[in-house]
Structures are given as C-alpha cells and as structure tokens.
Chain A
Amino acid sequence: MAFAQQTIRLHGHIIDSLILAKVMDTIHMMGGTFDLSEVRIGTTREEPSHAKIVVRAPSASLLTEILDAIQPHGATVERESNCLAEPAPADGILPDLFYATSHLPTQVRLGGRWIDVDAIEMDLAIRINHQLTTASAVPMSAVKKGDLIVTGRDGIRVIPLQRPRERDVFAFMEAPVSSERPHGPLIADIARRMQTLHDQDGGKVLLAGGPAIIHSGGREALAWLIESGFIQVLFCGNALAAHDMEAHLFGTTLGFGLSAGRAVPHGHEHHLRTINRIRAIGSIQRAVESGVITQGIMAACIRRRVQVVMAGTIRDDGPLPGVITDSIAAQDAMRAALPGVGLALLVASTLHSVATGNLLPATVPTVCVDVNPAVPTKLADRGSFQAVGLVMDAASFLRELARELGWKS
C-alpha cells in the first residue's frame, strides 16, 4: 500500500493562537490524515503547549506538500533516530529487551532510512542483517547466536491499516460476529474476492480447516473449490485428511455414514484402517497417484498441486504420513506457505484458526467460520478490521460459498 508518513512537533502557544487547529485543518484539507499524540497543554498562560503529530499522506510528494504547508506555522519535523540492535546471546535466546512485533506492517530505521520488516507476524522478534540493509520478523526458536535483534522502541514504527478501497464486507471497521446476521451478503463478498484472486496471476487463497468440515457434510463443496482452482494452500491436521480419505474408502466419517446419515456397525474402525492403509502405501500422494484415493479433498489437493501443511497434535491417531509432529517444524512449514496469500479462510477448527490467524500479517483479509462464536470473536478482536467472523457450521458455509462460485450441488 502506497503511503508516506512523518512525525512533526508543534511547541509554543499553539492552543490559544489556534495554530494547532490550523495545522490539523490544513493537513485534512490537503488530503492527509494525522494522529495526535503527546499533547501537553500549558497550565498557565505563560507555559507553552506541545503536540506531537504523525502526518500521513497517500504519496511521498503529497506528504512533502503538506509538510511545506504546515512548516511556516512552526511545525518541526521530528529528528528520527535509527533503531537499536543487540546480538542474540545464544541460539534460540533473544536479548532481554527485544522488540516484540504485532501483526501490523512495521518499519525500522536503519542507516537513516525506513526499511519494511519482511514477513511480519505477531509475537516475533525483528532480525536485521549485519550490513544493516534488511529486516525480517523471526521466531525465538529460529534465532542464532550473534544475530542482530532489534531492541527497545526507538526507530521502529507500525503502520496502521488504511481502510481498504473495496467497498465490501472487509471494509467495515468492526467485523460483525453474530449468528443473527444474514450470511448471504457476506458469503457473496467472500466469493467475489476469491473470484478476483482466482482470475489474478499469482493470487492465492488459503484454507485452514478442521475435521468438522467432513463430519458436517462439507467435503464435496471443499473438494470442488480445490478442483476448480479457488484454493492454493491448505492447512489442516491429521483428522481432516484421515476422515476425508475414510469417506472415500468407507463412505463414513468417524464411522458415521455420510449418505446413510447414521452410525454404521464397526464404523469406529474405519478411520484407523484408512490411516493404516495410507501408512502402508507410504504417502497420500502415492495413494492418489496409484488410484487408491481418487476423490475428495486430498485427491483434489494432489491433482491441483495445492500446498498442504498437516500439523499434528497430541490427539492424533497414526498419524498419517506427511503429518508434521514437531510443532515448531509445523509452524515453520506453515510460515513458508504464507507469502502471496491474499485471503485466508479459517473453517471449523479452533486450533488451526488461532494458529493460522497468529501467523498472518494484519494486511491479509481473513474469514473465520465456526459454530462456536468465541473463535471468530477472538480473531476479530485482534484489532484488524479485515477479519470477518461467521457463526455457522462448516458445511453450510462451504456449500453456499461453492454455489456462489458456480458449483452445481
């Protein structure tokens, strides 16, 4: 997003003279925006007042015009300092006062220039290279002894999100999370976004999903979305994959007949037999390529070369080959799949929704769908108005979404 910002200070009798008002009016009238911080008003007539104003404009040239216009009224550009950095004392250990990131676009000042922090993600540290030319967010576990880590608060700035240009559901400042709102228009907006990303060269949609997708009957819809090229990245666990393939092999999920609509005898064994079979074949890919698994979500992923990351948990049976059981390794694999993602759908899994939500920068619009209102609320509360919450079951969501995009169910 193109924008420029500069911090200025006003000091003196700026209140009674209306100079503060004049500066704010001028910024506004010229098409900029501002944040007022550190306003100290003199308590006596003689005492000066002070205001710190962050001025923002959609382009560097407009910012310069605005600064030129307000400078005669006494506005001085804040002297900016470079950020501070210290070497990590040991592998996996950060310096005590390391700066902890948020999920908002962040910049650090290096050698007098503001540099974007790459791969921004919340709750990480910022590592800068020894030439002081690049900066990147890094998890604690990935830090090596001697890495330069940003410390303190100087020379670091966070860019708040601007209201998106599109006038759709993601443009609202407060994402509505309620089961008592019509879902139709929201799903239509999401579908529109997905169509745009589908038509765009390199546009990527991520879906993080739980096994409830299969249990509630959303498997066909999701498989269709993948086969039709609307999803490029899939995050899931052992269970989603296992029950998807159980459905192919046995027509059940966790032993519950998908068309029969009731539990079948010895059904509880089905997913275990499925997992065992795939473990014997060696990989899901080989199972699909050899024709053992031909339809469903995993088959579609193999055919359409979807990036799949399966992260294991302590509840897993098996697990299936390909499931990453080391959580840190799983996080890293998920992180590696994120660049280029333009929309994230987090469906019916508290674990995967929260984990994925935490990895995403605030600039990626997210949709969280869950029957439990707490999950979408938690994600929407993280302060990004590009998070939309839908309280509904996975199947209803996926089926309606797929229909919007052309699925004939």
Chain B
Amino acid sequence: MSRLLVCPPDYFCIDYEINPWMRLSNAADRERARAQWHGLMRVLEQDVGVLLERMQPVPGLPDMVFTANAGSIMGRRAVPSRFRHPERQREERYFEQWFRDHHYEVTLLDEGIYFEGAGDLLGFPDVQFGGYRQRSDARAYTRLSEVFGCEIIPLELVDPRFYHLDTCFCPLTGGELLYYPAAFDAYAQAVIKDRIGTTRGLVVPEPEALRFACNAVCVGKQVVLPDGCPETMKLLAVQGYEPHPVPLDEFMKAGGSAKCLTLTLDS
C-alpha cells in the first residue's frame, strides 16, 4: 500500500513571492484552502487507497504544505532538500528531522548545492530525471546518482512558470509520461523523446499545462490531478488510467498543486 507524507495547511498563506504564480495581492482564502486540502486527502485515502502520514505544520512556514520538496527518498535513504530561496530554507531542518525521526538513512548534500527534493527528481524504475536551472543545480544530480546508485538524467527547465520538474513532467506507473515539452530546452526535449519515445509521451495542451495538469499523483492506475483539465483526463483514460480531478486553485496561488502537496514515501 502506498504511503504519502503530507502537511496540513494550518499556516498556509501567500507571505512572499518566490515564483511567478505568487502575488502578495492575491491572498489565499484560508478556509477554502483548508477545504480543498481535505478534499485532496479524502480522494487519496478513500478513492485511491493510500496511507497518509501527516507531519506537524510550523507557524511562519506557509510552504511546508508542499512536502514534495522535503527531499528525495529511495528505499531507506533520504536526501533532504537544500532550498535556493531563504524563505523556504527555514523549512530544511524540520524536514531533515522528520526523516531522522522516521529512521531514514539521511545523506546531506554539500553546502552551496541546491536541490529541491521530489519536486525536481522524478522517474521510472530504470531511469530518473532531474530538473535543473530554476531551483535545483545540475551538479546535485551527480551526487544523488552516487547516493542512490541510479542513472539520473538532468533536464533543463527554461520557463520560470514551470520551476520544478513535477510541474511539467509526470511519470506514470505504466511507463508513459505526461509532460509539457515547451517547459524544457531543445536538448531536454530531444532526450525525452529519445528515452520515452513518441507513443509513451503524452503531451499536455498549454492551457491545461498552466493549470498544472502534470502535477499529478499516480498510484497504480489512479491519477489524482487538479480539476479543469479535460484533455489531460482524456489522454489518461485512453491509456487505461482512472483520473480523479480535485479543485486546488488556492494552492495554485503559491505555484503548487496535487503532486507538490505530497511526498511518496515508498518507491
């Protein structure tokens, strides 16, 4: 049974602007955010059937809800994130402590190398991909490759709106890839086409990409994604997946959606 780490949105709000989606003037509606978050949890637990681990939120750390950025886990090894922005750097010690408390073998990256966790490192059983340029450093993946003992192919993200790999790149359990090519540079697009092939590459249309259709949680044949992405849902259904749309626009105000709000604990 899949386990996901989540963090309740008790202190979620728009407190600063560290990505193009955030506007201090576009304040989050606390009640609505709470309702949407619980809605997501309900779908995950009841419709998809995952086990949720809840961590304690911390006042003054509104983005802690985005547990995908806590770090990266493979087996019993965890590498906690090193955030590029000081605003989220304050979350680091809480995530590191959570990993230690839960008996993961923690490896820290060298100072000065940025890596924002499972938001940027995603993949398939035989190959992982690492998004770089906007947040994580390409050099982080050399080290992570050693730590996890696997191949990690860095992919350059060229659109600041798609600042984490998980906003435009979603590996599905059947080997297909839901993605938005324009978020990547020409070299990365060529690499993706080469590795995934055209039949398994599911290209999301721009309007839905901008609703973070790729920021989806895939468990077995179930895919939980933000609502308002009918084309993406059709693409998934054709491949035999059951899509579960969930309203999460309060979290889009912070530049995150379904996938950002979860961290897969077993992979």
Interface residues of A (CB under 8 A from B): 11-13, 16-19, 21-22, 45-46, 48, 72-74, 76
B151's contact among A11, A18, A19, A46, by CB below 8 Å, is which? Answer: A46
Shortest Cβ distance from residue B140 to the other chain A in the assembled complex, whole angstroms? 9
Query: Do A74 and B139 touch across chains, with their CB atoms under 8 A apart?
Result: yes
Rounded to whole angstroms, the CA-CA distance of A16 and B154 in the bound complex is 9
Whether A73 touches B145, Cβ cut-off 8 Å, given contacts A19-B138, A45-B151, A46-B151, is: no
B145 touches A74 (CB 8 A): no
Residue B214 is within 8 A (CB to CB) of chain A in the complex: no
B152 neighbours in A (Cβ, 8 Å): 12-13
| Cross-chain contact B191 with A74 (CB below 8 angstroms) | no
Query: B149 touching A74 by the CB < 8 A rule?
Result: no
- 8 A Cβ contacts from B129-179 to A: 132-133, 137-139, 141-142, 145-146, 149-156
- Smallest CB separation, B188 vs chain A (Å): 8
**Residue of B127, B155, B187 touching A45 (CB-CB under 8 A):** B127
Contact of B137 among A13, A17, A74 (CB under 8 A): A74
Contacting pair B138 A12 (CB below 8 A): yes
Q: How close is A82's CB to chain B, nearest CB, in angstroms?
A: 24
* B108: Cβ under 8 A from any A Cβ: no
Contact between B139 and A13, CB atoms less than 8 A apart = no
Q: 1/0 per position for B174-214, CB-CB distance to A under 8 A?
A: 00000000000101101100010000000000000000000
Contact indicator B191/A48 (Cβ below 8 Å) = no
Q: Judge whether B142 and A12 touch: CB under 8 Å.
A: yes
Q: A12-B139, A48-B142 are in contact. Are A17 and B150 (CB under 8 A)?
A: no
Tell whether, in the assembled complex, residue A12 and residue B145 are in contact, meaning their CB atoms are under 8 Å apart.
yes
Given contacts A12-B138, A12-B139, contact A17 B145 (CB under 8 A): no
* Shortest distance between the CB of B263 and any CB in chain A (Å): 24
Chain B residue nearest in CB terms to A11: B142
Q: Is the CB of A22 within 8 A of B187?
A: yes
Please tell me if the beta carbons of B153 and A17 are within 8 angstroms of each other in the complex: yes
Residue of A nearest to B187 (CB): A18
- Considering the complex, give the chain A residue whose CB is closest to the CB of B152: A13
> C-beta contact mask, B66-110 vs A, less than 8 Å → 1, else 0?
000000000000000000000000000000000000000000000
Q: CB distance B132 to A18 under 8 Å? A: no
Alpha-carbon distance A48/B147, docked complex (angstroms): 12
Contacts of A73 on B, CB cut-off 8 Å? Answer: 132, 138, 154, 156
Interface residues on chain B, number (Cβ under 8 Å):
25
Q: Indicate if the CB atoms of A13 and B133 lie closer than 8 Å.
A: no
State whether A74 and B187 are in contact (beta carbons under 8 Å apart), knowing that A12-B154, A16-B153, A46-B151 are contacts in the complex: no
**Which residues on A sit within 8 Å (CB–CB) of B185?**
22
> How far is the CB of A3 from the nearest CB of chain B, in Å?
28
Other-chain residue from B126, B151, B156 in contact with A13 (beta carbon distance below 8 A): B151
Contact partner, B191, options A11, A17, A45, A46, Cβ 8 Å: A17
Contact B145 A18 (CB under 8 A): no
The residue that A72 contacts in the complex, of B138, B142, B155, with Cβ under 8 A, is: B138
A45-B127, A74-B138, A74-B139 known; A19+B145 contact, CB < 8 A: no
Chain A residues with Cβ under 8 A from B155's Cβ? 17
- CA–CA, A72 and B156, complex, Å: 9
Q: Give, as a whole number of angstroms, the nearest-CB distance from B131 to chain A.
A: 12
Question: Which interface residue of A13, A16, A21, A76 has the most chain B CB atoms within 10 A?
Answer: A13
The interface residues of chain B lying within 8 Å CB-to-CB of A21 are: 187
Which B residues touch A19, using CB under 8 A? Answer: 138, 154, 187
Complex Cα–Cα for A100 and B152 (A): 44
Chain B positions within 8 Å of A17 at CB level = 153-155, 187-188, 191
CB-CB nearest in chain A for B144: A12
24 CB contacts below 8 A, A to B, read: A11-B142, A12-B142, A13-B141, A13-B145, A13-B154, A17-B154, A17-B187, A17-B188, A17-B191, A19-B138, A19-B187, A22-B185, A45-B151, A46-B145, A46-B149, A48-B142, A48-B145, A72-B137, A73-B132, A74-B137, A74-B141, A74-B142, A74-B154, A76-B139
> For B187, what are the chain A residues with a Cβ–Cβ distance below 8 Å?
17-19, 21-22
Name which of A11, A18, A45, A46 has the most chain B CB atoms within 10 A of its CB: A18
Q: Once bound together, how far apart are the Cα atoms of A273 and B132, in whole Å?
A: 85
What A residues does B127 contact at CB under 8 A?
45
Contacts of A12 in B (CB 8 A): 138-139, 141-142, 145, 152, 154
Chain B residues within 8 Å of A16, by CB: 151, 153, 191, 195
Whole-angstrom CA separation of A48 from B127 in the bound complex: 13
- Residues of B contacting A22 in the complex (Cβ-Cβ under 8 angstroms): 156, 185, 187
* Extra A-B contacts (11), CB below 8 Å, given A12-B142, A19-B187, A73-B132: A13-B141, A13-B142, A17-B187, A17-B191, A19-B154, A21-B187, A46-B150, A46-B151, A48-B146, A74-B132, A74-B139
Report chain B residues within 8 Å CB of A74: 132, 137-139, 141-142, 154
Q: Output the least CB separation between A64 and chain B (Å).
A: 19
Residues of A within 8 A of B190 (CB): 18
Closest A residue to B155 by beta carbon equals A17
Q: With A and B bound together, what is the CA distance between A46 and B188 in angstroms?
A: 19
**A76→B141 CA distance, assembly (Å):** 14
B153 lies within 8 A of A13 (CB): yes
* Bound-complex Cα distance A48 to B138 (A): 13
Closest approach, in angstroms, between the C-beta of B78 and any C-beta of chain A?
A: 20
**Bound Cα distance from A13 to B142, whole angstroms:** 7
Q: Which single residue of chain A is at the shortest CB-CB distance from B142?
A: A12
Which residues from chain A contact B149 at a C-beta distance below 8 Å? 46
Rounded to whole angstroms, the CA-CA distance of A16 and B196 in the bound complex is 13
- B191 / chain A contacts, CB cutoff of 8 Å: 16-18
Which residues of B sit under 8 angstroms from A46, Cβ to Cβ?
A: 145, 149-151
